[in-house]
Chain A
Amino acid sequence: MKLALIVFVGAASWLTAAPPIVIQNATILTVTKGTLNGSVLIRDGKIAEVGENISIPPDAKKIDASGQFVMPGIIDCHSHIAADSINEGSVSVSSMVGIQDVLNPDDVSIYRAVAGGVTTANILHGSANSIGGKCTVIKLRWGKDATDMIFEGALPGIKFALGENPKRAGNPTGQRIGAGNVPGRYPATRMGVEDVIREAFNQAKAYQQSWKDYNDKVARGEQAIPPRRDLKLEPLVEVLEGKRLVHAHCYRADEILMLLRVADDYGFKIRTLQHVLEGYKVAKEIAAHGAGASTFSDWWAYKLEAFDAIPYNAAIMMRKGIIVSLNSDSDELMRHLNDEAAKTLKYGGLTETEALSLITINPAKQLMIDNRVGSIEVGKDADLAIFDKHPLSNYAKVEKVFIDGQLYFDRATDVAERPEREAEKKKLMDKEKEEQKKNAPAGRGRPAA
C-alpha cells in the first residue's frame, strides 16, 4: 500500500518530451529478469522495452553498445555526499535536524559517483547520535537544484547509531571525535545508548498521545490550544506509525539484538541495519525481524567493534533470507561499488546476478523504491549504467549513465571537454592575478620612509 503511493507521486515533472533512445547490441544485465543480448528502449524517462528484438521507433536516438554491458543504475544505501553538514553532534537525540535541509547539489562528489554508475543514494545523517537526524533518498541528477534531486515519493528515513560512535561522542576522554576539552554527553556506554533510545520513544508516545487528546477534544467541540509541535519527536512518531524508515548504524551482535528488542517493545520496525559487520552471527534474528542489512564488502578491524567482521558477511546473511546490500559510506568507494559487489563472487560464492543485486535491486527494496528502480524492467525508471566490460570485472569502466532517461555522464564527452575546462580555469586564474597586481595597495614596494 505504501508502494502504491510511491508510484503515483513518481510522475516526474521535469521530464520533457525528448525523443526515445535505444541502446542496441548490448549485453543487458537486468538483475531480475536474467541476462540477454539485445536492446533497451527508453521513452519519457522510463524503460519502454527490453528484448533481443524490439521494434525501434523511427525517431529514436540510437546508441550502439556493441560489446558493452548495461546494468541498472547502482544504488548506494549509505552515503554522506551532497550535504553541507552530516552530524549534529551536540545532543544524543538529534531527530529535529534533517539532511534535506542541507542538500548541496554543487558537491562534485555527485558527479564523480555518477561516473561510477551510481544513480540513487540514501544520504544519511552521521553516527554520533543514538538517534540521529532525518535522511533523504536522492537521485544523482547533477546540475539540478537540491529539491529536484530528491527521490520523489521515497519514504524519508532516520539514522540511529549504536556502539562506539554515539558513546564516544559522549565520552569526555575519548578524544577521537570532539578534540580538546569536550564536556561529557550522555550516554557514554552501550547501556546508555539503549536508555536514550527508549526514553526518546517514551517521549514520542506521550507526544503522540497529546495530539490524540487534542484532536479528541476538538472533535467533541471543546476549545483547546493544540500541543506545541516538537520537531524532535515528530519524526519518532512517524517511525512508530511506519511512515519513516529506520537506518541503524551498528556493528556488534549484542547491540543488534538490543535494538531489535527495543523496536519490538515499541512496535516499530528497523528497516535496515547499516554496517552490521557481525550480522552473520545473528542473521536468523535479523531475518525474523524483517530488517535489511547494508554492509561493507571486506573492510574490518579499523576499530575495536569491527574486529569480528568477515568478508563472507553479505553472502551468509543473504543465504539466511535477509535482503542484503553493499554500501560505500565513502565518496571514494562510492565510485566503484561494482568492484565491491564482485568480491562476493570470491567470498561466499554468490552468482553474478546475486552479486549485482547487492548494489541494485536489494538496496532498492531496502529503501522501498524497487517499483521504480533497481532492475531493468519495462515501466521502471530509465536509470542505467553502460560499462565497457562486465561490471564485475575490475577492468570495467563506466561509459554512459542515464537517470530518468537523461544522459548525466558520458565518458567521451567528459574527456573531450577537459581541455576546455582547463583553459577556462587558467584564464580565470590569470585574470585574477592581473587584477591583484592592478589593485595592489599603492605604495607597496616603495622604499621605506
Chain B
Amino acid sequence: MKLLPVLLSAIGGVLLAAPPGAIAIRNARVVPVSGPAIQKGTVVLRNGLIEAVGAEVTVPADAWVIEGDGLTVYPGMIDALSTFGIPEAAPASGARAGAQAATPQPAAPLAHGPEDRPNTTSWLKAADLVKPTDQRLESVRAEGFTTAVTFPTHGILAGQGAVVNLAGETAGEMVVAEGAGQYVTFATSPGFGGGFPNSLMGVLAYIRQVYIDAGHYRQAKQFYAAHSRGTPRPEFDRALEGVLESSRVLLPATRRVDVDRLLRMADELHVEALLYGLPEGYRSADLLKNAAATALVSLKWPEKSKDADPEEADSIRVLQVRDHAPSTPAVLARSGVRFALYSGGIDKRADLFRAVRRAIDAGLAPEDALRAMTLTPAEIYGVADRLGSIEKGKIANLVVTKGDLFAEKTEVKYVFVDGAKFEPIEEPAAPKPGAPEASGPASNQSGANQ
C-alpha cells in the first residue's frame, strides 16, 4: 500500500490528482503559527484557499478526506531569499542566493565608471523569469517549502524579486506578488584593468552614485512632465528605472562591519534595506536593533572549507564565527530584531532540518524558528494577508508531517501548494555507519541525491 505513492512520486513527484471540490485534513494537530496550536483540528481547503480551520470545523460533504491522526499541519514554509523557480539560476554553485560575488558577464564591455552601469540588470524581474520547469522545485517542496522569494542574483544590482509559489502549471500561476526588492551583491571585476568597479569600495561608490542618479532622474522626469515645452527631455535609463521600481534593497552583510556600514548606507540613501547572510549576526544584534532593521539569516552556516589545508590553523576569530554563527537567530530573537531564515540554497531536507536544529540547539525556540520560515517572511515582503499562517481565506499552502517539523526523523507526508497536493519523494534515511548495507533501489536513489 505504501508502494503506490512511492511509485507515482518516483515518476517525478507528480500532482497525484486534481483536487476535488475540497480537501479536508481531519483530526490532525494544527500549528497555524498565527495562533496557538490546535491539538485535534481540521483544515479545509477549497479553490486553492483555506476555507476553514479549527477544532470544531465540519468536514464538507464534497471533501476528499485525509485522516490526520498522528500528523501535524503547518503553514507551507517560505524561503525568504532564494533563486528557486528560476531555472537559469540552478547551476552547481555561484548563483546560490547569498553568494558573495557572482561572476560578471564575460563579454560585457569594460566599464569606465558608474555611468556605464557595470554589472547592472536592475530592471530584470524574477516574475518574468520563473518557470514551473525548474528541476529543483520538487526537492525544495520535499523540504517543506511551498513559497520562495526568488531573485535574479547576477551582478551588483541584479534585479527585482518576486514571491512565488513552488508549483504551478504555468509561470503566471506561480507568482504571488512581485516587487519583492532589488537584490544586490558586491560583484567586482577581477584584477586591475577588468573594468569599474574592481574593489569593494568601488562597488559601494557605484551603488551610492546609482541611487543619487535615480533620485536626480526622478526629479528630472517630474520637472519634464511639468515643463515639457522648452525643456530637453531626460534620457531614458533602464538601470535607474529598475532602481526606482524597487521599494526595498537586499544587501549582503557577512560581518558585523558589513552590518554597520550597510545600515549607514541605507540610511544615507533613504532606502529600506534587508540585510542578508548574517553569519556574524550574533555579534551585530545591537546595530540591527538600533536601526530597527530586518535581517535575512542564511541557514547555510559557515563551515571549514573541505579543501582547507589541515595543517593551516584558522585564527580564533574565524573559529569563533564558525562556532557562534548558528546562535544568530537566537540572539536576534532575544534582542527583538525581526528576522527570517532562508535556505541559502540548501536543497536537501536532511541538511535543511539539521541547519535549523543547530539554531535551535543554540537557543532558538522551535516556534520562533517556524515563524521565521513562515509568517515573518510573509510580513517582511508584505504578503502576510495571503501567506505565512493557517488562517481562513489565506492561500492553501501547507506542510503535513509525521513528527515535529525540523526533528531528525520527521517525514514530510504531504505538501499543498495552492491547494494542490504533493507527496514528496521520501529521502532515504542515511544509513548509520556500521548499519547493514542498504541495497537495491534505495541505494540507487541515494546516489541520485548526492
A interface residues (Cβ-Cβ under 8 A, vs B): 83-91, 94, 96-99, 101-106, 108, 128, 133, 145-147, 169, 172, 177-180, 182-185, 223, 225-226, 228-229, 231-232, 421, 424-425, 428-429, 431-432, 436, 439-447, 449
Contact = CB atoms under 8 A, between A and B. Distances in A.
Given A88-B197, A228-B213, 8 more contacts: A88-B202, A91-B196, A101-B200, A101-B205, A103-B261, A105-B257, A146-B260, A169-B192
A231 B212 contact: yes
B113 A96 contact: yes
Contact of A225 (B196, B223, B316): B223
Contacts of B205: 88, 96-98, 101, 231
A440 to B, nearest CB: 8
Interface in B302-353: 304, 313-317, 319-320, 322-323
20 contacts: A89-B193, A90-B189, A90-B195, A96-B209, A101-B261, A106-B255, A106-B257, A133-B201, A147-B264, A179-B191, A184-B193, A223-B223, A226-B219, A231-B205, A428-B316, A428-B323, A429-B313, A432-B323, A442-B430, A442-B432
B431 A145 contact: no
Interface of B: 110-114, 189, 191-202, 204-206, 208-209, 212-213, 216, 219-220, 223, 227, 255-257, 260-261, 264-265, 287, 304, 313-317, 319-320, 322-323, 354, 430-433, 437, 439, 443, 446
A360 B205 CA distance: 33
B322 A432 contact: yes
A169 B195 CA distance: 12
Contacts of A428: 316, 319-320, 322-323
Contacts of A449: 437, 439, 443
A94 B323 CA distance: 39
Nearest to B287: A145
Given A102-B204, A432-B304, A182 B191 contact: yes
Nearest to B258: A84
B204 A101 contact: yes
Contacts of A105: 257
Contacts of B437: 446-447, 449
Contacts of A169: 192-193
Closest 6 pairs between A and B when the two form their complex, measured CB to CB: A178-B192, A182-B193, A442-B430, A89-B192, A85-B199, A428-B319
Contacts of B195: 90
Contacts of A232: 113-114
Contact of A182 (B192, B196, B322): B192
Nearest to A445: B433
Contacts of A83: 201
A90 B194 contact: yes
A106 B317 contact: yes
Contacts of A439: 354
Contacts of B193: 89-90, 169, 172, 178, 182-185
Contacts of A146: 257, 260-261
Q: Which of B192, B197, B431 has the most CB of A within 10 A?
A: B192
B216 A89 contact: no
B431 A90 contact: no
A104 B257 CA distance: 6
B346 to A, nearest CB: 14
B323 A431 contact: yes
A231 B255 contact: no
Nearest to B195: A90
Contacts of B208: 231
Q: Which of A88, A180, A231, A431 has the most CB of B within 10 A?
A: A88
Contact of A177 (B113, B192, B212, B443): B192
A90 B192 contact: yes
A447 B436 CA distance: 11
A406 B432 CA distance: 56
Contacts of A229: 212, 216
A429 B320 CA distance: 9
Contacts of A88: 196-199, 201-202, 205
Contacts, number: 164
Contacts of A180: 191
Contacts of A421: 316
Contacts of B313: 425, 429
Given A85-B200, A178-B191, A231-B212, A91 B319 contact: no
A323 to B, nearest CB: 29
A12 B269 CA distance: 26
Contacts of B204: 97, 101-102
A96 B213 CA distance: 14
A305 B368 CA distance: 63
A91 B118 CA distance: 13
A223 B192 contact: no
A225 B223 CA distance: 7
Contact of B202 (A94, A228, A424, A431): A94
B220 to A, nearest CB: 5
A182 B190 CA distance: 10
Nearest to B216: A228
B65 to A, nearest CB: 38
A180 B189 CA distance: 14
B310 to A, nearest CB: 10
Contacts of B315: 108
Nearest to B354: A439
A223 B200 CA distance: 38
B197 A98 contact: no
Contacts of B223: 223, 225
B155 to A, nearest CB: 16
Given A89-B193, A225-B223, A145 B432 contact: no
Contacts of A147: 260, 264
A36 B316 CA distance: 43
Contacts of B265: 101
Contacts of A84: 200-201, 257
B433 A442 contact: yes
Nearest to B306: A436
B358 to A, nearest CB: 9
B192 to A, nearest CB: 3
A137 to B, nearest CB: 17
A184 B112 CA distance: 12
Nearest to A94: B202
Contacts of B304: 432, 436
A440 B434 CA distance: 13
Contacts of B191: 89, 178-180, 182
Nearest to B304: A432
A249 to B, nearest CB: 16
Nearest to B206: A96
A96 to B, nearest CB: 4
B306 to A, nearest CB: 10
Nearest to A170: B193
A429 B310 CA distance: 11
Given A228-B216, A229-B212, A99 B201 contact: yes
A432 B260 contact: no
Q: Which of B110, B201, B431 has the most CB of A within 10 A?
A: B201
A99 B256 CA distance: 17
A97 B45 CA distance: 55
Contacts of A225: 216, 219-220, 223
Contacts of A231: 114, 205, 208-209, 212
Nearest to B257: A104
A214 to B, nearest CB: 12
B190 to A, nearest CB: 9
A430 to B, nearest CB: 10
B201 A443 contact: no
A166 B204 CA distance: 22
A226 B201 CA distance: 26
Nearest to A421: B316
Given A91-B196, A97-B199, A432-B323, A442 B316 contact: no
Contacts of A177: 192
Contacts of A96: 113-114, 202, 205-206, 209
A332 B378 CA distance: 51
B146 to A, nearest CB: 27
